[in-house]
Structure 1
Amino acid sequence: MLNAKNSQQACAEETYAVGVDIGGTKIIVVIANQKGDIVYKEKVKTTGRLEKIYEHIMRSLSAAGISQEQIVAIGFGVPGVTDSKEGIVIEAPALSWSHVPFRDQMQQYFDKPVFVENDVNCAALGERWIGSARNSNDFVVVAIGTGVGSAIVANGSLVQGSSHMAGEVAYLVSEQDVIDNESNAFGRFGLFEKKISGVALAQHGILPHILFEQYTKRDENAVSIIHRFVADLSIGIANIVSLLNPKKVILGGGVSQSLHVVIDQICTSVANLTPVPTEIVLTALGEEAGAVGAVALAFEQIGVFNQQGGAA
């Protein structure tokens, strides 16, 4: 039989947080303990209906054999502009959300603390916890998927910006954009995004991962497209590095799964474009980075998380 002390210790060892990455096409649910051990994960088709998201979470807990009593907090990553302090999703076009009091609405389903953050910011928290940025206090995550976004961690803290829009690299501008009289606007793909996103690559009539496969076979058309992609991405990264001096730049998102064939070229190109040193690496967590980071967000916000790559 457990005595009171051992019972308390066992209880502490059996506490978990839930992380939910609500994407434009899929929702990923991750359940993990304070040591960063992922005990369950599930991927389902996306929805903007909160009751359906609640049902996905409850099914995941049931499948994992974990009770609500063992959950200490729930974190959510959302693809859009998010006021994490107030718990409001200001704008998430992929979900048709505008000024949604997400935390208060989701809190109606749970008697646990609920937190919400931008999805790429969550990915950065995940990479710092158990991924490519472990123990790093200065790094940038650039997520290249359907669109393009980034998250900035400086001096150990997420940089939010005055309007919660720090890291909107989709709107980076080149000289040619100005010459061509191009412009950026909310509700449209950004100028940088139009060059390097998955959608931009797919406009060549070939799925991005196939394009990279053809590149490795030296297909002339694919080589031309990927060389342009590497050049555009390298310019963007070089400017980010010159401005922020991050220790690392981590490339994530769906397209990153194909970037191992050009990562050396990207590193060389960036080093030629800026004298500011950095290390460019691929995500260690893949598509689960956002959900893992939502777990880290939950632990951190309730005060059981430290900055050294793990929970307290």
Structure 2
Amino acid sequence: MSFKRTPSHLKFVNKKRIIQCIKDCSPISRAEIAVKLGLSKPTVSQLVDELIYEKWVVEKGSGESSSQGGRRPIQLFFNERKAFIIGADIGGTNVKIVLCDLNGNILAETSFSTTTYLQSGLLKQMALETDRLITKNQIAKERILGMGVGIPGITQTKSGLVIEAPSLGWIQYPFIAEARRYFDFPIYVDNDVNAAALGEQWLGNAKNKRNVLFIAVGTGIGSGIILNNQLYRGASSAAGEIGYMVTNKDEMKREFKPIFHRYGYLESVAGGKSIGAHFTRAVQNDPEHALYEQAKSSELVGEEAFWFAKKGDILATAVIDEALEHLAYAIVNATSLLNPEIVILGGGVLHSAAYILPRIQEIVEPYLPSLVEITTSRLGENAGVLGAVSLFLREHESILNVHDEGDFL
């Protein structure tokens, strides 16, 4: 018999089940919990009393008589302010940090320039900013459960080692080991797009979905994959590197030159940097174009290409449509392999979602073996930080962690 089937472990699992039930279904009574979970009323009552004593749960209502003559049951609510979690999203441009309650409500946030502190002490600055958030909101440090962090690179969650993060210049960087010098609470780290996928499943458009493909389209392109309710990281923590997907074999027969060092094929033809570069070259060949003088002296950016495409500009439309075709082919390939319930697009692409989404759906639909919902991120710019909070809740062993029990099978 497995050691996990001891009475003490069974009690712990049942407390987890009860607290999750209260989180999902509150307000709810003890009797309703017993029915939903198939537990005896005495067991539920005892464990609920413990959860109330530990302040994970609060009860409201007096049990007074209802209009039908019976007594109203006392209602139970999850105490989302029992503790707090820090979420951090380290980007190539900015670091964003949020202070959240246990339901993912952002109570306070801050950000600072990544490049300003990358050489002089990024983790030290994160610690200073975190302390300011906690102090300003008058929260005792012992009520901070810990922190989740998203990093733009290949990251090992168990060891806390950043294998490679090109935009930060990190190679084999021991992030967790270094973080322990500045933080005295538990920290978990993962790829930033993996974190965003978790955030979208927790609070966004992938809520209640067990199979999710989240694609972040910005300067580069990456994806987070959730299969059967578990984040799929791959054999070397590099799963989801959709930016390396090849969507044109003829171009690959010629010498391939990535848009940035170590960038993949897809992000070199469909990422924001690529779109800007292609638009610049097109405009440079058209002296009559409104941006001709600007394109001669500096490279245009992807946002400008999208803006002009929305206005009907022929050059911009051609560049954008070419990039979207590549992205759509990648979605066809990934979706055919993974069979997700939903594909969510996030990142900088969100600023042009109304233009992009119909075009991608039109290209993708004829090629898919089965229909899939394709939409954009509900959490937007907060997907990364809220995903980092969700990462912490999933990885940290606590009464709130339901994923280590195989969904209570």
TM-score between the two structures when normalised by the length of structure 2:
0.70
The alignment status of 1:27 with 2:92, answered yes or no, reads no
CA distance in 2, matches of 1:286, 1:111: 30
Offset of 1:227 from its aligned partner? 1.2
- Which residue is 1:59 aligned to? 132
- Which residue is 1:217 aligned to? 311
Once the two structures are superposed, residues 29-65 of structure 1 have per-residue CA deviations (whole angstroms, 9 ceiling, x without a partner) of 1211111211112222114322112112222223333
CA distance in 2, matches of 1:158, 1:66: 31
Offset of 1:110 from its aligned partner? 2.1
Once the two structures are superposed, residues 95-119 of structure 1 have per-residue CA deviations (whole angstroms, 9 ceiling, x without a partner) of 1212122112212222211111111
Once the two structures are superposed, residues 59-84 of structure 1 have per-residue CA deviations (whole angstroms, 9 ceiling, x without a partner) of 22233333322210111111111010
What amino acid maps onto 1:100 in structure 2? Answer: Y
CA distance in 2, matches of 1:68, 1:177: 55
- Which residue is 2:347 aligned to? 253
Offset of 1:295 from its aligned partner? 0.6
Aligned ranges 1:149-168 → 2 under 5 Å = 149-168=222-241
- Which residue is 1:232 aligned to? 326
Residue pair 2:217, 2:271 contacting (<8 A) in 1 also: yes
- Which residue is 2:275 aligned to? 201
- Which residue is 1:310 aligned to? none
Once the two structures are superposed, residues 230-281 of structure 1 have per-residue CA deviations (whole angstroms, 9 ceiling, x without a partner) of 2111111101111111111111111232122120111121112223321111
Q: Give the 3 Å change call, closer, same or farther, for CA 141–113 of structure 1 in structure 2.
A: same
Higher relative contact order (CA 8 A, sep 6+): 1
Once the two structures are superposed, residues 162-205 of structure 1 have per-residue CA deviations (whole angstroms, 9 ceiling, x without a partner) of 11111111111121233324377994221111111111112123
What amino acid maps onto 1:247 in structure 2? Answer: E
- Which residue is 2:201 aligned to? 128
Which of 106, 110, 118 is equivalent to 1:38?
106
CA distance in 2, matches of 1:209, 1:68: 42
CA distance in 1, matches of 2:81, 2:382: 23
Which of 158, 174, 179 is equivalent to 1:106?
179
CA distance in 1, matches of 2:238, 2:372: 24
CA distance in 2, matches of 1:155, 1:108: 36
What amino acid maps onto 1:115 in structure 2? Answer: Y
CA distance in 2, matches of 1:211, 1:89: 34
Stretches (4+) displaced over 6 A: 183-186
CA distance in 2, matches of 1:160, 1:129: 18
- Which residue is 1:301 aligned to? 395
More helix by share: 2
Residue pair 2:258, 2:268 contacting (<8 A) in 1 also: no
CA distance in 2, matches of 1:61, 1:91: 31
Helix, strand or coil for the counterpart of 1:124? Answer: helix
Which of 61, 79, 98 is equivalent to 2:152?
79
251-260 or 278-287, which deviates more: 251-260
TM-score between the two structures when normalised by the length of structure 1:
0.91
Once the two structures are superposed, residues 125-148 of structure 1 have per-residue CA deviations (whole angstroms, 9 ceiling, x without a partner) of 110110121111101111111111
* Runs of 5+ consecutive residues of structure 2 not aligned to the other structure: 1-50, 59-78, 281-299, 404-409
Helix, strand or coil for the counterpart of 1:178? Answer: helix
What amino acid maps onto 1:89 in structure 2? Answer: V
- Which residue is 2:372 aligned to? 278
CA distance in 2, matches of 1:186, 1:210: 20
Residue pair 2:245, 2:265 contacting (<8 A) in 1 also: yes
26-35 or 268-277, which deviates more: 268-277
User: What is the number of residues matched between the two proteins?
Assistant: 304
Residue pair 1:141, 1:152 contacting (<8 A) in 2 also: yes
Once the two structures are superposed, residues 272-300 of structure 1 have per-residue CA deviations (whole angstroms, 9 ceiling, x without a partner) of 22233211111111122111111111122
Residue pair 1:147, 1:197 contacting (<8 A) in 2 also: yes
Residue pair 2:123, 2:182 contacting (<8 A) in 1 also: no
Helix, strand or coil for the counterpart of 1:36? Answer: coil
Residue pair 1:171, 1:184 contacting (<8 A) in 2 also: no
* Runs of 5+ consecutive residues of structure 1 not aligned to the other structure: 308-312
Helix, strand or coil for the counterpart of 1:13? Answer: coil
Residue pair 1:208, 1:255 contacting (<8 A) in 2 also: no
- Which residue is 1:182 aligned to? 256
Which of 138, 144, 163 is equivalent to 2:217?
144
CA distance in 2, matches of 1:62, 1:207: 40
What amino acid maps onto 1:157 in structure 2? Answer: Q
More strand by share: 1
Residue pair 1:28, 1:41 contacting (<8 A) in 2 also: yes
RMSD: 2.2
Residue pair 2:259, 2:273 contacting (<8 A) in 1 also: no
CA distance in 2, matches of 1:220, 1:184: 26
The alignment status of 1:191 with 2:265, answered yes or no, reads yes
